[in-house]
Amino acid sequence: MTQTHRLAQGGRIDRSRTLSFTFDGRRYEGHPGDTLASALLASGERLVGRSFKHHRPRGIVTAGPEEPCALVELRSGARREPNTRATVAEIYDGLEATSQNRWPSLAFDVSAINQLVGRFLPAGFYYKTFMWPASFWEKVYEPIIRRAAGLGRAAMAPDPDEYESMHAHCDVLVVGSGAAGLAAARAAGAAGARVIVADQDFELGGGLLLEPEQEPWRQGMLAALSGMPEVRLLPRTTVFGFYEHDVLGAVERVADHLPVPPEHGVRQRVWTIRARQTVLATGSTERPIAFPNNDRPGVMLASAAMTYVRRFGARPGERAVFFANNDIAYDAAFALHHAGVSVAAIIDVRKKDSKRAAAAADRGIAVKLGSVISDVKGGRNVHGVSFRTANGSVERVLDADLLCVSGGWNPAVHLQSHTRARPIWNNDLAAFLPGKPVQAERSAGSAAGVFGIAHCATDGAKAGREAAAALGFRDGAAFELPAPDAEVDPRVKPFWEVKAKGKAFVDLQNDVTADDIRLAHREGYTHIEHAKRYTTHSMATDQGRFSGILGTAVLAEARGETIETVGVPTFRPYVTPVTWGAMAGRHAGHHLQPVRRSPLHPWHVRNHGIFLETGLWMRPLYYSATRETGWDPILKEARAVRQAVGICDVSTLGKIDIQGRDAGILLDRLYTNTFSTLAVGKARYGLMLREDGIMFDDGTTSRLSEHRYLMTTTTAKAAEVLAHMEFYHQTVWPELDVRYCTVTDQWAQMSVAGPKTRLALQGCVEGLDLSNEAFPFMGVCDATVAGCPVRLYRVSFSGEMAYEVATPAGYGERVWEAILAAGRPHGILPYGLEALGLLRIEKGHVAGPELNGQTTARDLGFEKMLKKKGDYVGRVNAERPALVAPDRPRLVGIRAVDPSFEKRLRGGAHIVDRPDSKASLGWATSITRSVELERWLGLAMIRNGPERIGQRLYATYPLKNEVVEIEVCSPHHVDPENLRVRA
């Protein structure tokens, strides 16, 4: 396609290079500096999409990110990006764009048939129907509605691009780089402040980019700012949210203007900016007027038409008509005229002759005062407009292929509104202006209702100076401001809607008409938030930035109240929608959470450990060179422990070093049992409760010296236990003389267990008599292994004779391998989490599934560990009546009656007294295949559990339609007298 509508000269595009791109499969050309929208317009393309509900043809209505209509799918394959605004997308060579929400094609969209029944589909129609027959909503209506929903299509493959996040601190953040923003930045920078300037555009300058005679000033300012080391310029960066404590979020489109990001580069970057002061120089956006068929391709904002001409050298039409209620729109008409576009007329709502009408007449442009556009001719393309006097009935038609509309200007107050500042209505501009700041910010330029480049620059410089001064910086060197231009009167005659036959749209993407707003009011949805939700006005991708105020105006008229009273729907982040990937940053895929590895991790990897990824730790479940699955490798490891000796990495258990004169007292108050009386060189199993009396954690704590203990916790609760200790010591018993810190990562710890453990360890432990007499159960001793210092704790989780060997983390692998070598003649095997679990379940030790935050010490059979004398955390609340009720589920063992492997018991099964009973008596907490008893068995919480020992009950698992007969027994399936651990 040739660039039929490219102006011979002018614009900021680089005509020396030509880029080629496709839209709906057709090839077009453009230049660097073009957006997709400008390049399409330059080739005479106007039809770019279809509206959401009625599938009406849609064109390009703005030249900025508030664009509600020209949304396309950009790129293809894994990089496809739906709902991309053509007005912002910079073209590159080879760009692919596709129109959305139409089938089979943009020109002939079958769903446009919706328009024929449009009158029966007003706002909220779906609340009043689709209810009969009852089953049809889900089976018939909803699937149809869902298929029609949405605009673009997501990519169906993982995103190949990368993102990152940055944190920045600055003294002054300037949002916007127009005349006000550049002046604010320079003033603040000159005063010595650290400044960040962010602008969503790829070129800095804002409105200056439309004024060729301001180019020298713009370039001078940018050169000066670039030369200031404490000033950072961020183009292509949208500040999307203003959060509390003066944090702002911004997203930088680092590589969206390139086919693919550079190697090792990111596509987008999110900035979290802490700005001590912010200057909102966000400008203002023009707003339309509602009139019949104001949605046709070829109808656009007057400033957009001017932008395409002045900035992009593209002619959005051949013959234009303007419709306006203000003087500024005349500048746009004159710009088009100057560029050779025929401007047939300016239809001006105002009755009084403004000075501009004369300037128009000089250019041969007719001005029709006191007149309104009453209709637009053309479906997929405007070809004419009709107009009349405001209250007249005689309509005249003008040939035109471009209708440029200006209803006035809305200062961009969105960011300020995020801070809960309330915008203030201004009658002269008929717009909301920024209100009294709540956070450390001020607005400048047209964002503050100041118009004209020179005025904006002055206003911006003042804002920059004041922002810096508020932080204690003194004014810096003055700089030149732009020459004052011809005075422009920004006042408008408020005008929102032409009442005439036909659909007048107040939200172009969601097809909401002025009549829809009136209907909402009629039905009582008359608060702006109700009207918005009922009609979906302002809920499209532009979130009301384009024409939100029109809905308010229509509603205000229906209510007989002012726009100020009615208000606009709350502005919330994100000012322009932000990519999910950018917000996720580097934490994609495996980087969602950090990984914690035991000091022995490299050994596990080399020796075919199969890892569990749950929580942050990587822990070997079992070892298998062939990566076999199922129970065999686990049973093999567990058998080795029961019959010979095994070694397991338990480094992940929490370890806390506690020192001080009152260490024992603190432990007495945290544990349900007593530790101040524990002998030096001994370990003791302890229980901790939460203050509400529920079991919190268990562990083994050893006394290393008179004033030193080493506490262990479960892996999962290590951090919480330390915090718990800190809370109680610091806030309840600060008088206790005690210090503590975590040493979890400092120690490698391995459990060596099995009847041959002593034999194995005697082969490698030096300096210690390992006989039962010298080193009984629950003792703690220091020794050496392979020249490394170790501490042995004679504790057992598995129920076999066992020692936990702890060594400083760096020596872990050396000690582990020494024990393995010494154990080899005795058949030692490494065992993982699964075997560890199997063994402890057989033994009847409680763990996570029993300590689930809902059970008490009594529930788990630990009444005897609740000391009678002395206070401890949870003591009183544990006695609450419902927590000591006799019929609470309590811990017992259960065993399958039928020993076959196929009749599985499963954790999570409920216990019932008859196979068909629905009355749950409890549930199975931990189940394993047993190596000692060769059947399924485990632990369960059952009402009156201990009294039921010997009874036959059933484990029912309705999720798999399984019922298995069980026998209730002691939880200690293996060695209930503890002979093995004391051997």
Partner 1 sequence: MHRIDCPWCGVRDEAEFSYRGDATVKRPPADGGAEGFYAYVYDRTNPKGWHVEWWHHVAGCRQFLKVVRHTVTHEIRSVAKATDEVAAPPA
Partner 2 sequence: MSRYSVFRLFREGLRNQTGWTRAWRAPEPKPAYDVIIIGGGGHGLASAYYLAREQGITNVAVLERGQIGLGNVGRNTTIVRSNYLFPENNLFYEKSLQLWEGLEQDLNFNVMMSQRGVINLYHSDSQRDAYARRGNSMRLNGIDAELLDRDQVRALVPVLDFDNARFPIHGGLIQRRGGTARHDAVAWGLARGADRLGVDIIQNCEVTGIRRDGGRVVGVETTRGYIAAPKIGIAVAGHTSQVAAMAGIRLPIESHVLQAFVSEAVKPVLDHVVTFGAGHFYISQSDKGGLVFGGGLDGYNSFAQRGTLPEAEHVINEGVALMPLLSRLRVLRQWAGVMDMTFDGTPLICKTPVQGLYINGGWCYGGFKAVPGSGWCFAHTVAKDEPHPFNAAMTIERFRDGAMVDEKGAGPFPWLQ
Q: Which is nearer to partner 1, 529 or 871 (CB)?
A: 871
319 binds, among partner 2, partner 1, none (CB under 5 to 8 A by kind): none
Sign of CA dihedral 392, 397, 398, 403: positive
396 binds, among partner 2, partner 1, none (CB under 5 to 8 A by kind): none
Q: Which is nearer to partner 1, 133 or 734 (CB)?
A: 734
Bond before 133 cis per omega within 30 degrees? yes
**Which of 395, 564, 691, 817 lies at the binding interface for partner 2 (CB under 8 A)?**
691
The Cβ-side half-sphere exposure at 374, using a 13 Å CA radius, reads 18
Q: Which is nearer to partner 1, 229 or 734 (CB)?
A: 734
Compute and round to an integer the Cα radius of gyration of the chain. Answer: 38
139 binds, among partner 2, partner 1, none (CB under 5 to 8 A by kind): none
Identify the helix (H) or strand (E) that includes residue 414. helix 414-418
CB of 444 to partner 2, least distance (A): 24
Q: Which is nearer to partner 2, 463 or 851 (CB)?
A: 851
Verify binding: residue 920, partner 2, rule CB under 8 A: yes
Q: Classify 975 in phi/psi space as left (phi over 0), alpha (psi -120 to 50) or beta.
A: left
Verify binding: residue 530, partner 2, rule CB under 8 A: yes
Residue 714 makes CB contacts below 8 A (sequence gap 6+) with 653, 654, 697, 698, 699, 847, 848, 851
Residue type, 127: Y
679 binds, among partner 1, partner 2, none (CB under 5 to 8 A by kind): none
CB of 818 to partner 1, least distance (A): 36
Q: What is the DSSP string of 583-629?
A: HHTT--GGGGS--EE-TTHHHHHHTTEEEEESSSEEEEEEE-TT---
Q: Which is nearer to partner 1, 730 or 900 (CB)?
A: 730
Q: Output the CA–CA distances (angstroms, integers) from residue 218 to 284, 335, 503, 881, in the order listed.
A: 19, 20, 43, 77
Q: Which is nearer to partner 2, 259 or 340 (CB)?
A: 259
> x/- string (CB under 8 A) for partner 2, residues 113-152?
----x-xx-x--xxxxxxxx-x--xx---x--xxx-xxxx
Residue type, 125: F
| Terminal-residue alpha carbon distance, the chain | 91
Tell which positions 167-226 bind partner 2, by CB under 8 A.
none
d(CA 794, CA 762): 14
154 binds, among partner 2, partner 1, none (CB under 5 to 8 A by kind): partner 2
**Which of 11, 30, 44, 241 lies at the binding interface for partner 2 (CB under 8 A)?**
241
HEC per residue, 290-331: ECECCCCCCEEEHHHHHHHHHCCCECCCCEEEEEECECHHHH
Q: What is the DSSP string of 876-918?
A: TGGGSGGGS-TTSEEEEEEEESS--SSS---TTPEEESSTT--
Sign of CA dihedral 524, 526, 528, 531: positive
Residue 419 corresponds to which tokens in the numbers above?
Answer: 């801070």
Q: How many CB atoms within 10 Å of residue 167?
A: 10
723 binds, among partner 1, partner 2, none (CB under 5 to 8 A by kind): partner 1
Query: Would you state the torsion angle of the CA atoms of residues 863, 864, 870, 873, taken in this order, to the nearest 10 degrees?
Result: -40
CB of 791 to partner 1, least distance (A): 25
Phi/psi for 810 (5° steps) reads: -65, -25
CB of 868 to partner 1, least distance (A): 13
**Which of 223, 394, 959, 979 lies at the binding interface for partner 2 (CB under 8 A)?**
959
Phi/psi for 762 (5° steps) reads: -60, -20
726 binds, among partner 1, partner 2, none (CB under 5 to 8 A by kind): partner 1
Q: Which is nearer to partner 1, 141 or 243 (CB)?
A: 243
Q: Are strands 49-50 and 26-30 parallel, antiparallel or unpaired?
A: unpaired
CB of 165 to partner 1, least distance (A): 13
CB of 817 to partner 2, least distance (A): 30
3-state secondary structure of 546: coil
CB of 360 to partner 2, least distance (A): 38
Q: How many CB atoms within 10 Å of residue 915?
A: 11
Q: Which is nearer to partner 2, 141 or 685 (CB)?
A: 141
Verify binding: residue 841, partner 2, rule CB under 8 A: no
Tell which positions 536-555 bind partner 2, by CB under 8 A.
536, 541, 543
Point out which span in 41-49, 157-165, 440-448, 471-479 binds partner 2 (CB under 8 A): 157-165
Tell which positions 293-332 bind partner 2, by CB under 8 A.
none
CB of 256 to partner 2, least distance (A): 11
DSSP state of 90: B
Q: Which is nearer to partner 2, 8 or 116 (CB)?
A: 116
Angle at 29 between CA 28 and CA 31, to 5 degrees: 150
What is the binding site for partner 1 (CB under 8 A)?
Answer: 243-245, 247, 691-692, 723, 726-727, 730-732, 734, 741, 870-871, 875-877, 879-880
Verify binding: residue 943, partner 2, rule CB under 8 A: no
Angle at 507 between CA 501 and CA 509, to 5 degrees: 115
**Which of 767, 853, 899, 946 lies at the binding interface for partner 2 (CB under 8 A)?**
853
Q: How many CB atoms within 10 Å of residue 369?
A: 16
Q: Which is nearer to partner 1, 875 or 904 (CB)?
A: 875
Angle, helices 514-522 vs 548-559, to 10°: value is 40
**Which of 261, 435, 502, 585 lies at the binding interface for partner 2 (CB under 8 A)?**
585
Point out which span in 367-375, 404-412, 455-463, 525-533 binds partner 2 (CB under 8 A): 525-533
Verify binding: residue 500, partner 2, rule CB under 8 A: no
Q: How many CB atoms within 10 Å of residue 522?
A: 10
**Which of 690, 814, 904, 982 lies at the binding interface for partner 2 (CB under 8 A)?**
690
Angle, helices 453-470 vs 179-190, to 10°: value is 30
CB of 591 to partner 2, least distance (A): 7
d(CA 628, CA 631): 9
Q: Which is nearer to partner 1, 390 or 723 (CB)?
A: 723
Tell which positions 877-906 bind partner 2, by CB under 8 A.
877, 880-884, 906
Q: Which is nearer to partner 1, 14 or 244 (CB)?
A: 244
**Which of 21, 28, 52, 775 lies at the binding interface for partner 2 (CB under 8 A)?**
52
Verify binding: residue 705, partner 2, rule CB under 8 A: no
Q: Which is nearer to partner 1, 169 or 960 (CB)?
A: 169
523 binds, among partner 2, partner 1, none (CB under 5 to 8 A by kind): partner 2
Residue 313 corresponds to which tokens in the numbers above?
Answer: 């050298």
CB of 540 to partner 2, least distance (A): 8
Point out which span in 295-303, 313-321, 338-346, 954-962 binds partner 2 (CB under 8 A): 954-962
Verify binding: residue 249, partner 2, rule CB under 8 A: yes
Q: Which is nearer to partner 2, 183 or 519 (CB)?
A: 519
CB of 882 to partner 1, least distance (A): 13
Edge-to-edge strand list for the sheet holding 596-597: 596-597, 617-623, 609-613
Verify binding: residue 573, partner 2, rule CB under 8 A: yes
731 binds, among partner 2, partner 1, none (CB under 5 to 8 A by kind): partner 1
Number of amino acids touching partner 2 (CB under 8 A): 114
Q: Which is nearer to partner 2, 471 or 612 (CB)?
A: 612
